[in-house]
Structure 1
Amino acid sequence: MTDPIAEIQPPRISLIALFLKFLRFGALAFGGPVAQIAMVRQALVEEERWMTPGRFNRLLAVLQILPGPEAHELCVHLGMMARGRLGGLLAGLGFMLPGLALMMVAGWLYVSWIAGNAGLAGVLLGVQIVVLAIILRAVVRIGQHIIEDRILAVIAVVALVATLANVPFWVILIAGGAAYALAERPVIAALVLLVPVIGAGMIGHVAGEAETAAPMVTAAPATVAMLFIAGLKGGLLTFGGAYTAIPYVRADTVGRGWISDSAFLDGIALAGILPAPLVIFATFVGYVAGGPVGALAVTAGMFLPAFAFSMIFFERLEAVVENPALHRMLTGVAAAVVGIIAATFVQLAQATGARVDRPVFAILLFMAALAVAWRVKGTWVTPAIIAGGALAGWLIAP
């Protein structure tokens, strides 16, 4: 006999009503992915019964191992269940538009009024210091979910050191994934992990010496295509949470001289207090680097994978994810990503520390923010930490 609960389907809903429903979710999407997913679950699973709780949990399990913001991917999939692929597109757009619009306004205000304002330098520095604490807490939290054994820990440490040594990220990711897929053969796994990383590091060192000896070359300007690719890279490589997009977007923007590390941290701070997936920080980065068109280009690249995976490939994803070898490879990639984010934290901390003229104050503020981020839970915690950093920076500013 068929279980009637298993036959639960979304109610009939017009495309306009579907868009408005997810637009409302987007306008209330404060507090990061956990709070966003809980809000959608409460409304569509527990109240409106679009699907059974068991099916919802299985769906989340699939989405969490894919790159991209899982809350956004969840909305796309639910919209597709209700009204097909057009419904998925409208649901995804509805969920992301409030945050996109607010971040575009924030980018305009920042470029027009805030950046370069000497009176706000202390406020911005205070915010940047506490954002570093938020990022460090995120690195530890992501690592606790991913680093399940010693081999994964080794992969993460190698990725951290390799990133600081300027080894290309794609070498690190491929080596980490392949090494964990071959973990039952430790010697081969060690060679697969270390040989390409060390080789790429040596090549990079030789190339770096050649660059130093050669005349300086001016960085290429930020074009729409390059900003789109920067966002696309972040969208395709966001494993384990939105914070994992940070190193890739930073490498393609800060690394090219399009935006400073301080402005980059300001964008992360703004994303933490707006109703949107955290990866909306890329919109801010694009605005500072290339104006409104640049902001839209980065955003399109960042969110394109989240639309594509749900709208095009979902029917095949559950079968693919069940492949044990692929699952181990993805786990190894995720461990490497943890190391890459940790290295990015170190690089951002060094850049911020170079602008600090009161190190004792900076250390105390960082430790206080880290303690709050570590011990206190709630959707209000990140905005409160950022507000506290701004206040502390304003009070201590000369």
Structure 2
Amino acid sequence: MTRMADDDPRPPPIGLWPLFLRFLRFGALAFGGPVAQIAMVRHELVERDRWMSSERFNRLLAVMQALPGPEAHELCVHMGVRARGRIGGLLAGLGFMLPGFLLMLAAAWAWFRFDVGQGALAAALLVAQAAVIGLIARAVERIGRHILVARSLWLVAALALPATLAGVPFWIVLPAGAVIHGLAATRRRGGALAALAAAATVSVLWLLRPAAPQAADVGVAAPVLASALALFLTGLKAGLLTFGGAYTAIPFVRADVVPRGWISDATFLDGVVLANVMPAPLVIFGTFVGYAAGGFPGALAVTAGVFLPAFAFSMILHDRLEQVVEAPAVHAVLDGIAGAVVGVIAATVFQLAAGLAGQGPGWPLLVIGGLALVAAWTLKGRFAAPLILAVAAAAGQLWLG
């Protein structure tokens, strides 16, 4: 690991309470996604207050982008550790995530308390859901542009897409991507082809397995909420597999909650819509999903699971992050997983679009999603996504309301 130079800037003395309040302010202003959030932290803590050199910040950012988890949140935790040790990292991370968490928790309570999704705004929400699918499609291109830098990664993504659509689970797709790219990156093409054949065989066997027996009908009793433990594991899975941006958490959370019948695709998309207009990392949509599936305990469980890896990587591996991620074998594995994740997100776009088409006027909604994709491609700035969703919602209310 590259050691910090003796003259590398250090954070000025700061108390724990002022540290928490400073990152709480960052969280309250965290509009516009990770690019805007990271730019805000860089401007205040690196360029203005000199908590570290710009060169070290750039290297740290590259490491955070290679690791799973919301990189803006991980950067805040790392900065807090640098200022006041692990307790400082904990307070910085909590401060950054707290405004978005509380806003989303309040929004989720109001959403279901007043039945917003089925009320007078149902038409606006339906069109906003179509628009958010366009935003996710734009994220596939944006993430893929940075991740798919080798032919083997393109192959991994291209194979992950149809495999996911066919029903192959992520625990087959992602390790296969890691192995195939890892062998290809070290010029062991024969091994990569063998790994590809093995992954295809396992996938076919999985798809041809006998169907699980259906549970007996339990009548018309009130639906049972998902357990907090199950939802915590859902969030933890998303937190550990979020490569290249928070949009990569979407397929993993959806795969756990929608097929199990805990929530519908429409409700899931409502959470993503809300997350796009709040000052928070996009993964805060997990709080809404957890509340929808398991009430207040579910919201806490998913949120804890999603953010736990982000805290752990920066607090436990603070001094070894660069060394760990730059190890060639680890780097190849992470790249292969990230390449497979691109294909998984692309498959999720098709799955969400298919589900949405069955809720209303199919092709007009798909056209709206396409227009949102074009707008997301064209518009820049931290408020582009909220603006696109607001315009879509207003148009939907006028059109279908």
2:309 alignment counterpart:
305
Corresponding residue of 2:120: 119
Partner of 2:190: 187
Identify which range, 118-127 or 152-161, moves more after superposition.
118-127
The equivalent of 1:207 in structure 2 is: 210
User: Given the alignment of the two structures, is residue 70 of structure 1 paired with residue 74 of structure 2, yes or no?
Assistant: no
TM-score scaled by length of structure 2: 0.94
- Give the match for residue 144 of structure 1: 145
| SS, match of residue 364 in structure 1 | helix
Deviations 1:179-218 (A, max 9, x none): 111101223202212422432333233233x54xx56677
Separation in structure 2 between the aligned mates of residue 347 and residue 194 of structure 1, nearest angstrom: 26
Task: Give the whole-Å Cα distance in 1 for the aligned partners of 2:354 and 2:8.
Answer: 55
SS for the counterpart of 2:373 is helix
Match of 2:349 among 337, 345, 348: 345
1:364 maps onto 2:337 in alignment: no
Does residue 264 of structure 1 match 2:268?
yes
SS at match of 1:225: helix
Structure 1 CA distance, aligned partners of 2:29 and 2:204? 45
| Change in CA separation of 1:220 and 1:292 when aligned onto 2, cut-off 3 Å | closer
Contact 1:171 1:197 in 2 (8 A): no
Relative to structure 1, the CA distance from residue 4 to residue 178 in structure 2 (aligned partners, 3 Å threshold; closer, same or farther) is closer
**Counterpart position of 1:234:** 238
Whether the aligned pair in 2 keeps the contact of 1:15 and 1:90 (CA below 8 Å) is yes
User: CA offsets per residue over residues 51-97 of structure 1, 9 Å max, x none?
Assistant: 11001111111111111000000000101111100000000000000
Task: Tell whether the 8 Å contact from 1:249 to 1:282 is kept in structure 2 after alignment.
Answer: yes
In 1, Cα distance between the equivalents of 2:359 and 2:104?
Answer: 26
Structure 1: distance between partners of 2:367 and 2:54: 44
Given that residues 175 and 197 in structure 1 are in contact (C-alpha distance below 8 angstroms), is that contact kept between their aligned partners in structure 2?
no
Tell me what 1:48 maps to. Answer: 49
What's 1:318 paired with?
322
1:243-272 CA-to-partner distances (Å, cap 9, x unmatched) read: 111111111111211111011111111111
How far 1:4 moved relative to its partner?
A: 8.5
Tell me if 1:80 matches 2:81. yes
Distance 2:199 2:217 in 1: 28
Amino acid of the residue matched to residue 70 of structure 1? E
- Closer, same or farther in 2 for the Cα pair 1:71/1:255, shift >3 Å? same
Structure 2 residue aligned with 1:390: 393
Separation in 2, partners of 1:279, 1:243? 8
Letter in 2 for 1:368: L
Q: What's the offset of the Cα at 1:348?
A: 0.6
**Any stretches of 5+ residues in structure 2 without a counterpart?**
none
Identity over aligned pairs, percent: 56
**Which residue of the partner structure matches residue 170 of structure 2?**
169
- Are the structure 2 counterparts of residues 215 and 61 from structure 1 closer, same or farther at C-alpha, using a change threshold of 3 Å? closer
- Letter of the 2:206 partner, please give it: I
* Residue 393 of structure 1, CA deviation: 1.1
Shift, 1:356, TM fit: 2.1
Superposition deviation, residue 319 in structure 1: 1.3
Q: For residue 315 of structure 1, give the secondary structure of its aligned residue in structure 2.
A: coil
Residue 289 of structure 1 deviates from its aligned partner by: 0.9
Task: Give 1:355's aligned residue.
Answer: 359
Residues 35-60 of structure 1 show CA distances to partners (whole Å, capped at 9, x for unaligned) of 00000010001111111100111111
Residue-pair matches, total: 392
Residue-by-residue CA offset, 1:285-314 (whole Å, 9 max, x unaligned): 001111111101100010000000000012
Which is worse superposed, 164-173 or 114-123?
114-123
Moved over 6 A (4+): 217-220
Q: Distance in 2 between matches of 1:197 and 1:25?
A: 46
Which digits, 9 at most, give the CA deviation of each residue in 1:232-251, with x for residues without a partner?
Answer: 11001111110111111111
Aligned to 1:9: 10
Q: CA separation in 2, counterparts of 1:342 and 1:360?
A: 19
- Secondary structure at the aligned position of 1:100 is classed as helix
Partner Cα distance (2:117, 2:393) in 1: 16
Pick closer, same or farther for the CA change 1:360–1:233 going to 2, 3 Å.
closer
Counterpart of 2:110 in structure 1 is 109
Residue deviations 1:124-177 (CA, integer Å, cap 9, x gap): 111100000000000111011111122111110111111111112011111100
- Does the CA contact (< 8 Å) of 2:247 and 2:283 recur in 1? yes
Answer whether contact 2:19 2:88 (CA < 8 A) is retained: yes
Could you tell me the TM-score, scaled by structure 1's length? 0.95
Contact 2:179 2:195 survives alignment (8 Å): yes
Question: Residue 67 of structure 2 contacts residue 325 of structure 2 at CA under 8 Å; is this kept in 1?
Answer: no
Match of 1:335? 339
Cα contact 1:6–1:52 (8 A) shared by 2: no
State the distance in 1 between where 2:200 and 2:363 align: 37
Contact 2:81/2:88 (<8 A) preserved? yes
SS at match of 2:276: helix
Q: Is the 8 A contact 2:357 2:363 kept in 1?
A: no
Distance (Å, rounded) in 2 between the aligned partners of 1:251 and 1:396: 32
